């Protein structure tokens, strides 16, 4: 009865054939639609989803081969079965190379046809399942522009997801280069405020004398250089996000003013007599511990609690080493595109050295190191020789030269593949035949990979 749900599109320019096939398939419980030519069939395909397409090969005008080509675009998950007369088996095989699922001989018994259709339906389910898994894997490794699958990065993704509908202030802490600004942007663009502006202010980069007028704006004549009114950055961020980078560097007097903005939700420009309402979410960040600043009277405690309604702590890269291979592959891909260089991966020993290194400059340092290596590299794979001695170490560098040829394999990709196999084994309840089919590798290779 379940099969009743499956829809099959039958395409043949011989109306009697269409009718015959339709009868056979209906009897089996499938619902069918017939089409006398490929062009019409294609139109139908664009408006309706089918589970299987059964098409004649030789037709006037657009033939079965053309339909196959078009169907791959219009209905990528729908398997195409080619019907062929004995004399055209060669062409049918060609069609399979082009992506047809299988072929059936017109002279065959109906049993053969039904069996092929059943197999095609199973194949379609599998194909969809793979697509679903792939998507899920990607989303577990990535969130917006953030890469990482370590538990701590996943917690960051979850927090961003959780506060999607909220406007609370957020404090992001972490060493330099851990991705604080990237997280701030991910929060902004994953929020109802994403249509509004994202304004970033680095409190350490603006001199104390200017930061007040920059943030709050001023009225014409407020001071000597104020020749016209100026909107402050807080106002610019109205209905959006204000990102205050290196918040500990903000002068105490301004901290008091900022606290007022947060509490009263209004700004008063320098030299103005009135305040104006603003609606901003403040995300602040610091790569230094804030509590000592509070203890020394350099940071207001009340402001601190206002800023850290939610706190996100980004751990240093050396504490989430499992993210290193992913980040490396990510930077290789992005720089490769930018530089138009065909570098696809990194050698095993270079990856090992990079994974063991302490990364005091965190992701930013890793990004720079990969960029530099890609500029230097002459091969398709990054090798130990492409990295600074301080990271690789002299001895390993020499070993690396000897191993050059042997380690052209893409280690980072292998890691991914292993994770994928593990997942598939779980999802299929340990069905190795199915897993090797999904991956398109033979069982022997699968066993080897499983052992590894």
Ligand X SMILES: Nc1ncnc2c1ncn2[C@@H]1O[C@H](COP(=O)(O)OP(=O)(O)OP(=O)(O)O)[C@@H](O)[C@H]1O
Residues in contact with ligand X, counted by CB under 6 A, come to a total of 16
Among ligand X, Mg ion, none, the one that 396 touches (CB under a kind-dependent 5 to 8 A) is none
User: Is 102 one of the binding residues for Mg ion (CB under 5 A)?
Assistant: no
- Nearest approach, Cβ of 245 to Mg ion (angstroms)? 5
The candidate with the shortest Cα–Cα distance to 191, out of 164, 157, 163, is 164
| Options 3-11, 175-183, 217-225, 379-387: segment touching ligand X (CB under 6 A) | 175-183
Segment interacting with ligand X, rule: CB under 6 A, options 39-47, 170-178, 272-280, 441-449: 170-178
Residue nearest to ligand X (CB): 179
Reported as type and span, the H/E element at residue 395 is helix 394-403
Q: What residue 148 binds from ligand X, Mg ion, none (CB within 5 to 8 A, per partner kind)?
A: ligand X
Residue 206 binds ligand X (CB under 6 A) = no
Using the contact rule CB under 6 A, the part of the chain among 117-125, 178-186, 273-281, 413-421 near ligand X is: 178-186
Provide the token pair at 164. 């999607």
Q: Give the pair of three-digit tokens for residue 131.
A: 């697509």
CB of 181 or CB of 427, closer to Mg ion: 181
Residues 152-173: b if buried by 16+ CB within 10 A, e if exposed: ebeebbebbeebeeeeebbbbb
Report if residue 437 touches Mg ion, rule: CB under 5 A.
no
Q: Does 365 bind Mg ion (CB under 5 A)?
A: no
Contact between 285 and 243 (Cβ < 8 Å): yes
DSSP secondary structure letters along 258-321: HHHHHHH-EE--BT-SS-EE---EEEEEESS-SHHHHHTTSS-HHHHHHH-SEEEEEPPGGG-G
The answer to whether the CB of 244 falls within 8 A of the CB of 282 is: yes
Cα distance between residue 292 and residue 295, in whole Å: 5
Residue 363 in contact with ligand X, rule: CB under 6 A: yes
The CB-of-179 to Mg ion minimum distance in angstroms stands at 8
Q: In sequence order, what are the residues at sequence separation of 6 or more whose Cβ sits closer than 8 angstroms to the Cβ of residue 415?
A: 325
Answer yes or no whether residue 187 interacts with ligand X by CB under 6 A.
no
Residue 264 Cα distances to 230, 253, 271, 309, 392, angstroms = 21, 17, 19, 17, 54
CB 217 within 8 A of CB 270: yes
Among 64, 79, 174, 400, indicate the residue that binds ligand X (CB under 6 A).
174
Cβ closer to ligand X: 157 or 218? 157
β-pairing verdict for 266-267 and 276-277:
antiparallel
Tokens of 373: 């290596």
Residue 249 in the binding site for ligand X (CB under 6 A): no
Q: Which stretch binds Mg ion (CB under 5 A): 110-118, 178-186, 266-274, 363-371?
A: 178-186
Among 182, 206, 270, 425, binds ligand X (CB under 6 A): 182
Residue 259's alpha-carbon distances to 252, 253, 263, 302, in angstroms, are: 11, 10, 6, 8
State the binding partner of 403 from ligand X, Mg ion, none, CB within 5 to 8 A by kind.
none
Alpha-carbon span 357 to 366, nearest angstrom: 10
| Residue 181 binding Mg ion, by CB under 5 A | yes
SS3 content of the chain, % helix, strand, coil (to 5): 55, 15, 30
Least distance between ligand X and beta carbon 298 (Å): 19
Max CA pair span of the chain: 96
What is the per-residue binding string for ligand X in 119-158, x denoting contact by CB under 6 A? Answer: ---------------------------xxx----------
Q: What is the DSSP letter of 440?
A: T
Site string for ligand X, 280-299 (x = CB under 6 A): -------x------------
Residue 10 vs 363, nearer CB to ligand X: 363
In what helix (H) or strand (E) does residue 413 lie, and over which residues does it extend? helix 411-427
| Shortest CB 244 distance to Mg ion, Å | 11
> Which has the closest alpha carbon to 350: 382, 327, 323, 380?
382
Say whether residue 396 binds ligand X (CB under 6 A).
Answer: no
176 binds ligand X (CB under 6 A): yes
181 binds ligand X (CB under 6 A): yes
Q: Which is nearer to Mg ion, 153 or 203 (CB)?
A: 203
177 binds ligand X (CB under 6 A): yes
Minimum Å distance from CB 202 to ligand X? 8
Among 88, 169, 178, 436, binds ligand X (CB under 6 A): 178
Nearer to ligand X, 346 or 363 (CB): 363
Whole-number Cα distances in Å, 1 to 53, 117, 119, 125, 264: 20, 16, 17, 18, 65
**Sole window of 33-41, 113-121, 173-181, 443-451 interacting with Mg ion (rule: CB under 5 A):** 173-181
Q: Does 315 bind ligand X (CB under 6 A)?
A: no
Q: Which residues bind ligand X (CB under 6 A)?
A: 146-148, 174, 176-182, 287, 327, 363-364, 367
């Amino acid at each position: 009865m379940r099969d009743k749900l499956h829809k099959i599109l039958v395409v043949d320019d011989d109306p009697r054939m269409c009718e015959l096939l339709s009868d056979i398939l209906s009897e089996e419980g499938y619902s069918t639609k017939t089409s006398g030519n490929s062009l019409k069939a294609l139109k139908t395909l664009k408006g309706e989803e089918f589970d299987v397409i059964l098409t004649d090969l030789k037709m006037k005008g657009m033939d079965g081969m053309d339909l196959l080509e078009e169907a791959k675009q219009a209905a990528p998950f729908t398997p195409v079965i080619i019907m062929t007369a004995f004399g055209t088996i060669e062409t049918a095989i060609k069609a399979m190379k082009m992506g047809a699922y299988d072929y059936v001989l017109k002279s065959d018994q109906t049993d053969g046809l039904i069996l092929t259709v059943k197999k095609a339906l199973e194949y379609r389910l599998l194909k969809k399942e793979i697509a679903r898994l792939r998507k899920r894997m990607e989303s577990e490794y990535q969130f917006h522009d953030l890469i990482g699958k370590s538990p701590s990065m996943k917690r960051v993704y979850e927090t961003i997801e959780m506060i999607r509908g909220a406007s609370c202030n957020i404090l992001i802490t972490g060493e330099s280069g851990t991705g604080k600004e990237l997280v701030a942007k991910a929060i902004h663009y994953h929020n109802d405020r994403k249509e509004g502006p994202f304004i970033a202010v680095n409190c350490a980069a603006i001199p104390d004398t200017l930061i007040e007028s920059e943030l709050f704006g001023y009225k014409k004549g407020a001071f000597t250089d104020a020749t016209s009114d100026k909107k402050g950055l807080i106002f610019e961020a109205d209905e959006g996000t204000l990102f205050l980078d290196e918040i500990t560097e903000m002068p105490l007097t301004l901290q008091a003013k900022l606290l007022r903005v947060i509490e009263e939700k209004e700004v008063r420009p320098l030299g103005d007599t009135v305040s104006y309402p603003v609606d901003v979410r403040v995300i602040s960040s610091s790569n230094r511990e804030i509590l000592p600043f509070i203890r020394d009277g350099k940071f207001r405690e009340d402001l601190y609690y206002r800023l850290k309604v939610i706190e996100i702590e980004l751990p240093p890269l050396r504490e989430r080493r499992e993210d290193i291979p992913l980040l490396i592959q990510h930077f290789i891909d992005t720089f490769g595109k930018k530089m138009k260089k065909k570098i696809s991966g990194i050698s095993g020993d270079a990856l090992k050295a990079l994974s063991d290194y302490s990364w005091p400059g965190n992701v930013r340092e890793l990004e720079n190191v990969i960029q530099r290596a890609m500029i230097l590299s002459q091969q398709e794979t990054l090798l130990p020789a492409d990295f600074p001695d301080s990271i690789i170490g002299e001895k390993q560098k020499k070993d690396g030269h000897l191993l050059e040829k042997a380690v052209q394999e893409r280690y980072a990709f292998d890691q991914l593949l292993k994770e994928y196999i593990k997942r598939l084994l779980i999802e299929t309840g340990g069905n190795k035949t199915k897993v090797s089919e999904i991956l398109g590798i033979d069982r022997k290779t699968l066993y080897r990979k499983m052992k590894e």
